[in-house]
């Protein structure tokens, strides 16, 4: 029988995950069907029980359930526990095990597009301190960074994330003015805030002129393809990357956990741009 997979969240109507995973199932010859389920918070617990009962093989978790699902699972990986969020669940012998592939997905996307940078122990500035910032910062801090600074509108959240990163590398919490003052000290600057998403597409969080000439600017947003942040960076001559490689690679890592196959991520980026994002 075809194995079942899915995504739970709300809203999920615009998610690219069903198209992505069903493409990979077809492409890899692995049998599977992936569906999106819109699940309001008050129905989360009973939905998880139901998915377990129908023998779902695995599922993704998105906004607003990434943290709320954790106590409903039988086991959570150390990385997901450190990040405080789960985006991928595997059912194994009737047990639901939670993982977080967001941060690793970011790192894989970075390695795919800028392989040298990841080996150079970069200094990184993260703008924002929400859920996505946590998953990216904690993986980069453990895996590649010599230093990772966090700046955020709500300074206390920057402090909390910076303290967590200090277990793995040097880290400082900054306000926006402090970050602008030392903008020349980073090899990678990552916007993880939701500023730049429709309808705030022309908004920018910090001033970026004065950054070192080889700095890579990254935005986790992929719709629009270029946020005001990336447009500014590109106009000033910097290298840029949007959130599509992260989206595709976090999905590829989930697909690998479910099937043992790591799919072709470059082909998927091209497919999503051609079909949904241009």
Q: Would you list which residues are annotated within the binding site for NADP(+)?
A: 128-132, 152-157, 220, 243
Q: Is the peptide bond before 224 cis (omega within 30 degrees of 0)?
A: yes
Give the sheet arrangement for strand 95-99, strand by strand: 33-38, 4-9, 58-61, 88-92, 95-99, 75-76
Using CB under 6 A, pick the residue from 9, 58, 243, 263 that binds ligand NAP: 243
Candidate list 3, 26, 35, 66, residue with the active-site label: 66
Rounded-to-integer distance, Cα 151 and Cα 94, Å:
42
Using CB under 6 A, pick the residue from 80, 195, 252, 272 that binds ligand NAP: 195
CB 247 within 8 A of CB 16: yes
Rounded-to-integer distance, Cα 128 and Cα 194, Å:
9
Stretch that binds ligand NAP, among 30-38, 40-48, 186-194, 231-239 (CB under 6 A): 186-194
Footprint of ligand NAP on 154-183 (CB under 6 A):
154, 157
Determine which helix (DSSP H) or strand (DSSP E) holds 58, and give its type and residue range.
Answer: strand 58-61
Q: Is the peptide bond before 255 cis (omega within 30 degrees of 0)?
A: no
Judged by CB under 6 A, does residue 190 bind ligand NAP? Answer: no
Minimum Å gap between C-beta 266 and ligand NAP is: 16
Minimum Å gap between C-beta 164 and ligand NAP is: 14
Judged by CB under 6 A, does residue 221 bind ligand NAP? Answer: yes
Minimum Å gap between C-beta 2 and ligand NAP is: 27
C-alpha Rg value of the chain to the nearest Å: 19
Angle 257-82-47 (CA atoms, 0-180°, nearest 5)?
55
Rounded-to-integer distance, Cα 21 and Cα 259, Å:
11
Nearer to ligand NAP, 62 or 77 (CB): 62
DSSP-based three-state secondary structure for 273: helix
CB 192 within 8 A of CB 136: yes
Binding letters toward ligand NAP, positions 106-145, x by CB under 6 A: ----------------------xxxxxx------------
66 is catalytic: yes
CA distances 81 to 46, 157, 171, Å, are: 22, 18, 20
Binding letters toward ligand NAP, positions 80-109, x by CB under 6 A: ----------------------x-------
Active centre residues (catalytic): 66
Query: Which residues in this chain contact ligand NAP in the complex, by CB under 6 A?
Result: 102, 128-133, 152-154, 157, 192-195, 197, 205, 220-222, 243, 246-247, 250
């Amino acid at each position: 029988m075809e194995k079942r997979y899915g995504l739970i969240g709300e809203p999920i109507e615009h998610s690219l995950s069903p198209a992505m995973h069903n493409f990979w199932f077809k492409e890899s010859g692995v049998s599977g069907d992936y569906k999106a389920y819109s699940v309001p918070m008050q129905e989360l617990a009973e939905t998880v029980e139901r998915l377990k009962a129908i023998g779902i093989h695995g599922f993704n978790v998105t906004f607003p359930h990434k943290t709320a699902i954790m106590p409903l699972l039988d086991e959570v990986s150390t990385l997901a526990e450190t990040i405080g969020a789960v985006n991928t669940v595997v059912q194994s012998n009737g047990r639901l095990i939670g993982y977080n592939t967001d941060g690793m997905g970011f790192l894989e996307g970075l390695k795919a597009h800028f392989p040298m940078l990841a080996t150079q122990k970069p200094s990184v500035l993260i703008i924002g301190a929400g859920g996505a910032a946590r998953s990216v910062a904690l993986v980069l801090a453990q895996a590649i960074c010599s230093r990772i600074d966090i700046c955020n509108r709500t300074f206390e959240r920057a402090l909390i994330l910076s303290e967590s990163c200090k277990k793995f590398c040097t880290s400082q919490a900054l306000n926006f003015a402090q970050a602008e003052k030392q903008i020349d000290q980073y090899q990678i600057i990552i916007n993880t805030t939701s500023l730049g998403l429709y309808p705030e597409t022309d908004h920018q969080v910090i001033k970026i002129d004065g950054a070192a000439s080889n700095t890579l600017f990254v935005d986790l947003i992929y719709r629009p393809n270029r946020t005001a942040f990336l447009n500014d960076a590109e106009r000033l001559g910097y290298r840029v990357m949007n959130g599509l490689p992260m989206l595709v690679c976090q999905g590829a890592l989930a697909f690998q956990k479910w099937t043992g196959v790591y799919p072709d991520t470059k082909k998927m980026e091209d497919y999503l741009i051609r079909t949904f994002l241009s």
